[in-house]
Structure 1
Amino acid sequence: MGYFGTLVYSEGRWRTGRPTAVPFLMVDVHDSDIATVDYRAADATGGRFFLGYEPRVYFDEPDASVPVDTDAEAAGFARWVKDAVGTEVEPAELRGLMASPGGVPPTDEVVEQTVERLLVLAGLPVPEWPTDEDAPPG
């Protein structure tokens, strides 16, 4: 079984749970195979894309998610990174990390590694991923 959890970057640090301020970047990981990446700017613009697999492909359920326009999301996330972090990143580099809308299998890495590669491109700190020891008892 892989990692399940949500991490949020806002106010200059990573935390678990929901965003506390804008701009924010939220990464929701499902079984180390899918990462849903949501980003919002101070003006409430933002978007969503996936790393690893799109849910509709992973679960073989066409209604599980809308196909992502990776060109538009790569451009939108590049704008967010520039505005929120001050880093310039090429949309093509971002697009290369995004889940394929056509279902082409991603690399053999766990999605947390892809998240880390995305964050390094964006100039953001890499979070400390919670471990089983961090889980509440029971």
Structure 2
Amino acid sequence: MGFFGTYAYENGSWTTLSEGELPPLTEPWLWLDIHDSDITSVVYAPPGPGTGVAYLGMTPRTYFENPGASDPTDVAREAAGLAAWASSEVSAEEIRGFLAEDEDPDSFEWDEEEDVDAIDDAEVFVEVKTARFLKVMGLPVPYQLS
């Protein structure tokens, strides 16, 4: 079983929430919902030039192999929105490297020659990628992710 956690960032600090809970928050806020170490949903307000929703790890469409599980992603637009939201000098290009794109689940091929010990933890555990993403965004990391 993977890691699950839901967090809200507002007024300069993090609050741990119940899974999937998104209560009314004071803008500007950022909400993270980590699902089974595979998907982090990132929602923010006020919305910038992006959609206000981005994903780290995998998108729900890819993970659940269901196009109806989430809207299609536009990582360039989402990265621009998150960069505009961030209080740090982070660029959209830096953020884009963290964001998940929709993938065709049938296109995955397992490389039996690959050294699994050489794979970066952030490629396996989305909570690691989420902690790194928050640091790049100039935000503190919730203690459960550090």
Q: TM-score, normalised by structure 1?
A: 0.81
Q: Equivalent residue for 2:26?
A: 21
- Runs in 1 of length 4+ with deviation above 6 angstroms? none
Given candidates 37, 49, 52, the residue that maps to 1:47 is: 52
Determine if contact 2:123/2:129 at 8 Å carries over to the other structure: no
Following superposition, the deviation at residue 19 of structure 1 comes to 5.0
Task: Summarize deviations over 1:66-116 as a string: whole Å, max 9, x none.
Answer: 1111000100110000xxx2x111111111110122358795331111111
Q: Does 1:88 pair with 2:93? A: no
Task: State the alpha-carbon separation in 2 of the partners of residues 109 and 128 from structure 1.
Answer: 20
Given candidates 117, 120, 123, the residue that maps to 2:138 is: 123
Q: Where in structure 2 are the equivalents of 1:1-138 lying within 5 Å?
A: 1-17=1-17, 18-41=23-46, 45=48, 47-81=52-86, 85=87, 87-103=88-104, 108-129=123-144
Determine if contact 1:19/1:26 at 8 Å carries over to the other structure: no
Q: Equivalent residue for 2:116?
A: none
Task: State the alpha-carbon separation in 2 of the partners of residues 108 and 94 from structure 1.
Answer: 15
Q: Aligned pair count?
A: 124
Q: TM-score, normalised by structure 2?
A: 0.77
Task: State the alpha-carbon separation in 2 of the partners of residues 19 and 100 from structure 1.
Answer: 28
Task: State the alpha-carbon separation in 2 of the partners of residues 108 and 70 from structure 1.
Answer: 17
Unmatched runs of 5 consecutive residues or more in structure 1 = 131-138
Give the superposed CA RMSD: 2.1
Task: Summarize deviations over 1:36-76 as a string: whole Å, max 9, x none.
Answer: 000102xx656000000000100111110111110001001
Identical aligned pairs, as a percentage?
43
Determine if contact 2:8/2:32 at 8 Å carries over to the other structure: yes
